[in-house]
Amino acid sequence: MIKHLVTLVVLTAGTSLYAQQTITGQIVDETHTPIIGASVFYAHQSIGVATDMQGKFTLTFIEKAPLTISYIGYKTQTLTPQEGQSYHLILQPEESLDEVIIKTKQRNTTRSIKGTTNSFTMNSGELLKAACCNISEAFETNPSIDVNYTDAITGTKQIKMLGLTSPYILIAEENIPSVRGASQIYGLTFTPGTWVESIQVTKGAGTVINGYESISGQLNTELIKPATDRPFYLNLYGSNDERFEANIHGNYRLNDKWSSSLFIHGNVRTGDHDKNHDGFLDMPKGEQINVMNRWQYINPEKGVVSFITARYMKDNKVAGQVDFDKKKDKGSTVLWGSEINTEKIDLSTKIGYVFPDLPFQSAGLQVAYNYHKQDSYFGLNLYDIKQNSLYSNLVFNSIISNTLHKFTTGLSFTLDQYTEQVFVPGIDGNFNRTDNALGAFYEYTYDNTTDFSVVAGMRVDYHNRMGLFATPRLHLRYNPWENGVLRASVGRGKRLANVFAENQIFFATNRYFQLEGNNGKIYDLDPEIAWNYGLSFTQNFHFIGRKGDVTLDFYRTDFENQIVVDADYNAHQLLFYNLDGKSYANSFQLEVNYNLARNLNLRSAYKYYDIATDQKTGTFEKAYQPKHRFFANLEFTTNEKDNGAHWKFDFTYNWLGKQRITTTEQYAEVNQLKSSSNPYSLMNFQITKVFSPRFEFYVGGENMGNYKQRNPIVSASNPFDTDFDTSMVYAPITGSMYYAGLRFKLD
């Protein structure tokens, strides 16, 4: 709904004509025509009147009480009246709605005070702040999600929520679970940032509509919609570490119902970079080609919206020792090298229907087919995985008696067919399997439209491996006072761990792999089950005339069962077993956002994580996870000129406390590491010069302080030795990186 903005001009303050204890006045518009029925009231005392046929009003005088004058279509403002005064006020018409929204209302990250779940939406503006490149890099300006370095070989960044990595986060694309199974580790790098319209982030137990797997949170990416897409978009990017990217989008509107968009993405990384002189490439070389074609159909009269999307992606990476030649050295022990080649095909369709004459009732069907194939080797270790999956979800939304009580219900069916081949020390085998699940869900929402709402969801699934089980989720929201919101949530999640796909970082080690199952459902192991509890309080405030908000979050995840990935039992081994004892993750976050000055926004957060798991040899704090983190982001935009030209400045600071390093006791003395890392900080910046709505240019830098982990690869000089390990990474491997790029768009 339109929010009316506020300004008013006090022209003349006439002399006292009336008795004391009152104030009077006349309200007119810009043509000096009296405004009839404008509201004149004391905002805090609930006293007020409407202006009469001459636009006049008389009110009791209240000392130092601000008086508000408002009328639809006109700017509102507040003044502190003088006793016995008469006012002649000219109201100014509201500016055109679009302009007001763009200049003052739109924020890159929006958190609703109304929503029941602890969610916020990052729009494309927020994604542009990281300039690049795919969604694994999109969260670097966001305090709720931590970006972590996974290993010293693939250069992959992994995200964490509440201290837990992506297998415990449900990552969906347009509400279809996308980063899962075979794509668990690299999946986020397969969606170019320029394709994204917005990302919705939900902390804690999410909705049951998208499945039972989410535990610590949900991320949903909405891609650009053909019906609202611009005709042409070009983005070029290059960095000093020789990464080059190009994105080209084209859109075509066939008629008022059908439109189509074509998205083409390509990136290459060339050149050998070994700044730390350990003989290994600091990041892999390779290329990715990614093409997507979307069709959208809209028929407002019939209430039908539909999407058809087809996508192809091919990604090749080569990593390892600088002189490694894949044709000559693959499979030999002369030089260590690695290749990860992935191919993906996605086909999906969505259809939504709103019942005519019942705008509160709708139905939707989503069907997606996904093919994912990864062939890879890491030195002498081999890992191939192929996944064919089918996802379908039928959703029906309606109300119970009235719109205060809403419900969503539906059925889902998923089928996953895996062909998996693992050849590592200790394991040589095929782990082929087919999983399927049929589920039904029901979610009830009550909202009293003022200060209280509840979302209660339940789903029941029958899974060929896990049997019949229930997933309950509950969210509550209460506004104890104005601009304050208290949220609570509790929920259960259950999933089968794809232990190899999720722990690919250990393939680039010479560890001895051991599956210590108990004849469980998958790899002899049991499903993972966890409960997540959350409490969050947000207060919006005004301080010295500027807006801000403060949020306190506390979340706890308790594992009933977890697949413990134990790298601490012995530095030469990697064990997988069912949790015996306790495993929990506590996360606390204090976030403060404040508008420091006109066009200057500060976002800051302190995060505390307490994550521990009972392992075979004791209780271990989570490795490569700082207990304390501090985050700050400053954003400054200059005023827009008439032609739309302006500057944007963005600066992000991250401080990471000490991190535990997994045991190195069994290594040769020269290879041993300290048991924890030193704290360090990272600084990123970006400057964008917008020349016009059509053209902009940006430059930026990452890790400006040039902090590097000194020896990210254990036994780098002897990669076929048992000590060789590339998984012990807690800091950037490459030093500072600078980039530049441009965006060109036609509207």
Partner 1 sequence: MKKLFLTLGLVLLTTAAVSAQEKEQPKQVIGVKGLCEMCKKRIEKAALDVKGVRSVDWSIADQQLTVYLNPKKTTGKEIQEAIAKAGHDTDAVKATDEAYNDLHGCCKYQR
Nearest distance from residue 39's CB to partner 1, in Å?
A: 5
Provide the minimum distance between the beta carbon of 624 and partner 1 in the complex, in angstroms, as a whole number: 49
Query: Quick check: helix, strand or coil at residue 560?
Result: strand
Q: Compute the least distance from the CB of residue 340 to partner 1, in Å.
A: 52
Characterize the bridge pairing of strands 512-516 and 573-578.
Answer: parallel
Q: 209: which 2 tokens?
A: 């509509």
Of 45-53, 163-171, 288-296, 321-329, which part binds partner 1 (CB under 8 A)?
Answer: 45-53
- Verify binding: residue 102, partner 1, rule CB under 8 A: no
Give the per-residue contact string, 443-472, with partner 1 (x = CB under 8 A; - = no): ------xx----------------------
Name which of 358 and 668 has its Cβ closer to partner 1: 358
Nearer to partner 1, 301 or 642 (CB): 301
Residue closer to partner 1 by CB (options 357, 642) is 357
Could you tell me the smallest distance in angstroms from the CB atom of residue 467 to partner 1? 39
Of the ranges 34-42, 83-91, 313-321, 619-627, which one interacts with partner 1 (CB under 8 A)? 34-42
Least spacing, CB of residue 77 vs partner 1, in Å: 14
Residue 42 interacts with partner 1 (CB under 8 A): yes or no: yes
Work out whether 401 is an interface residue with partner 1 (CB under 8 A): yes
31 counts as binding partner 1 under rule CB under 8 A? no
Is residue 47 involved in binding partner 1 (CB under 8 A)?
yes
Check binding of 120 to partner 1 (CB under 8 A).
no
Q: Which range in 48-56, 268-276, 657-665, 707-715 contacts partner 1 by CB under 8 A?
A: 48-56
Min dist CB 743 to partner 1, Å, is: 37
Task: Give me the amino acid identity at 622.
Answer: K
Q: From CA 301, how far away is CA 67, in angstroms rounded?
A: 46
Residue 98: in which H helix or E strand, if any? Answer: helix 97-100
By CB under 8 A, tell whether 37 contacts partner 1: yes
Give the range of 65-73, 214-222, 564-572, 606-614 binding partner 1 by CB under 8 A. Answer: 65-73
Sheet strands side by side (includes 9-14):
9-14, 86-90, 22-28, 56-60
Smallest distance, Å, CB 441 to partner 1? 23
Whose Cβ is closer to partner 1: residue 8's or residue 318's?
Answer: 8
Helix (H) or strand (E) holding 430, with range, is strand 427-430
CB of 446: closest distance to partner 1 in angstroms? 12
Q: Of the listed pieces 38-46, 162-170, 192-200, 538-546, which binds partner 1 according to CB under 8 A?
A: 38-46
- Does 6 participate in binding partner 1 (rule CB under 8 A)? no
Q: Which is nearer to partner 1, 481 or 543 (CB)?
A: 481
- In the list 5, 6, 36, 699, the residue contacting partner 1 (rule: CB under 8 A) is 36
CA neighbours within 13 Å on the CB side: how many for 440?
A: 1
Candidate ranges 297-305, 399-407, 417-425, 460-468; the one touching partner 1 (CB under 8 A): 399-407
5 belongs to the binding site for partner 1 (CB under 8 A): no
Among the candidate windows 270-278, 307-315, 395-403, 666-674, which touches partner 1 by CB under 8 A?
Answer: 395-403
**Which are the contacts of 358, defined by CB distance < 8 A and separation ≥ 6?**
398
CB of 68 to partner 1, least distance (A): 7
Residue 184: phi, psi to the nearest 5? -50, -45
Question: β-pairing, 86-90 with 22-28?
Answer: parallel
For 336, half-sphere exposure in the C-beta direction (CA atoms, 13 angstrom radius) is 26
Out of 50, 246, 264, 304, name the contact with partner 1 by CB under 8 A. 50
- Percent helix, strand and coil across the chain, each to the nearest 5: 5, 55, 35
List Cα–Cα distances, 98 to 74, 336, 368, in angstroms: 15, 58, 36
The answer to whether 301 contacts partner 1 (rule: CB under 8 A) is no
- Does residue 399 belong to the site contacting partner 1 (CB under 8 A)? yes
Residue 566 burial (C-beta neighbours within 10 Å; 0-12, 13-18, 19+): buried
Q: Does 357 bind partner 1 (CB under 8 A)?
A: yes
CB of 110 to partner 1, least distance (A): 19
269-275: which pairs have CB atoms within 8 A and are 24 or more residues apart? Answer: 269/241, 269/242, 269/243, 269/244, 270/242, 270/244, 271/241, 271/242, 272/322, 273/241, 273/242, 273/734, 274/322, 275/708, 275/734, 275/735
- Counting residues that bind partner 1 (by CB under 8 A) gives 30
Nearer Cβ to partner 1 (97/334): 97
Closest CA to 735 of 326, 411, 276: 276
| Three-state secondary-structure class, residue 182 | helix
Complex with partner 1: residue 485 or 733, whichever CB lies closer: 485
The reply to whether 519 sits near partner 1 by the rule CB under 8 A is no
* Beta carbon nearer to partner 1, 52 or 274: 52
Rounded Cα gap, residues 379 and 174, in angstroms: 37
Whole-number minimum distance, CB 44 to partner 1, in Å? Answer: 11
Residue from 54, 333, 403, 643 in contact with partner 1 (CB under 8 A): 403
Q: Which of 5, 49, 79, 365 binds partner 1 (CB under 8 A)?
A: 49
Alpha carbon separation from 485 to 1, 3, 443, 451, 605 (Å, rounded): 21, 20, 22, 9, 18
Closest CB to partner 1 among residues 74, 391: 74
φ and ψ at residue 43, rounded to 5 degrees: -60, -35
- Stated as kind and residue range, the H or E segment containing 738 is strand 737-746
Q: Is-contact 18 24, C-beta < 8 A?
A: yes
48 binds partner 1 (CB under 8 A): yes
CA distance 3 to 100: 10
The least CB distance from residue 51 to partner 1, in Å, is 8
User: What does the alpha-carbon distance between residue 275 and residue 256 come to, in Å, rounded to a whole number?
Assistant: 55
Question: To the nearest whole angstrom, how small is the minimum distance from the Cβ of residue 175 to partner 1?
Answer: 24
- Per CB under 8 A, 746 contacts partner 1: no
Minimum distance between the CB of residue 101 and partner 1, rounded to whole angstroms? 17
Determine whether 309 is exposed, middle or buried from the number of CB atoms within 10 Å of its CB (0-12, 13-18, 19+). buried
> What is the spatial distance between Cα 197 and Cα 193, in angstroms, rounded to a whole number?
9
Q: Which of residues 360-379 bind partner 1 (CB under 8 A)?
A: 360
Indicate which single residue of 26, 70, 342, 587 sits in contact with partner 1 (rule: CB under 8 A). 70
Is 40 a binding residue for partner 1 by CB under 8 A? The answer is yes
Q: DSSP character for 162? A: T
Closer to partner 1 at the Cβ: 40 or 424?
40
Q: What 8-state DSSP symbol labels residue 125?
A: H
Name the segment binding partner 1 (CB under 8 A); options: 398-406, 589-597, 608-616, 627-635. Answer: 398-406
Q: Within 10 A of 727 (CB to CB), how many other CB atoms are there?
A: 24
**Member of 16, 22, 58, 68 binding partner 1 (CB under 8 A):** 68
Does residue 72 interact with partner 1 by CB under 8 A? yes
Q: How far is the CB of 247 from partner 1 (least distance, A)?
A: 40
Q: Closer CB to partner 1, residue 71 or residue 513?
A: 71
Q: 56 and 26 in contact (C-beta within 8 Å)?
A: yes
Partnered with residue 17 across adjacent β-strands are: none
- DSSP letters of 478-545? E-SSTTEEEEEEEEEEEE---HHHHTGGGGGB-PEEEEE--S-SBTTBPPEEEEEEEEEEEEEEEETT
* Binding region for partner 1 (CB under 8 A): 1, 36-37, 39-43, 46-52, 68, 70, 72-73, 357-360, 399, 401-404, 449-450
